[in-house]
């Protein structure tokens, strides 16, 4: 189950991500390119190059969970992407 809260740490990957990537490839990006521990309990956010798809990768104690959403409108670039991702996550958080 998706468990997002203000106590979680969120990391946005800065590069465009191939949305065909799964658990192993995304956790490899977390370790090799983001220099983070994929099983830390943090939420790792990946966007494709068009910024119209988002994937969230998180470790839930007994395995990885991967959430994928295709957005109707693309997100803007760089600083706005981060702000919109933060707003998106806060909206999900408030929904719970």
Q: Which of helix, strand or coil describes residue 34?
A: coil
Residue 3 within a domain: no
Q: Of 43, 40, 37, 35, which is closest to residue 11 (Cα–Cα)?
A: 43
Residue 40 within a domain: yes
Q: Of 79, 69, 6, which is closest to residue 43 (Cα–Cα)?
A: 6
Residue 4 within a domain: no
The pLDDT tens digits for 24-71 are 999 999 999 999 999 999 999 999 988 889 999 999 989 999 999 998
Looking at the 3D structure of the chain, how many domains does it have?
1
Q: What is the pLDDT of residue 96?
A: 45
Residue 1 within a domain: no
Residue 32 within a domain: yes
Average pLDDT over residues 62-89: 72
Domain containing residue 40: 10-95
Residue 87 within a domain: yes
Token reading at 79 = 């600083």
Overall pTM > 0.75: yes
Q: How confident is the model at residue 74 (pLDDT cuts 50, 70, 90)?
A: low
Q: What is the pLDDT of residue 1?
A: 65
Widest pairwise Cα distance in the chain = 35
């Amino acid at each position: 189950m998706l468990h997002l809260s203000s106590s979680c740490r969120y990391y946005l990957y800065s590069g465009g991500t191939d949305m065909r990537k799964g658990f192993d490839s995304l956790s490899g990006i977390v370790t090799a390119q983001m220099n983070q521990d994929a099983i830390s309990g943090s939420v790792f956010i990946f966007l494709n190059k068009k910024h119209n798809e988002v994937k969230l990768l998180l470790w839930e104690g007994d395995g990885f969970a991967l959430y994928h959403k295709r957005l109707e409108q693309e997100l803007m670039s760089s600083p706005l992407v981060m702000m919109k991702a933060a707003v998106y996550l806060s909206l999900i958080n408030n929904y719970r």
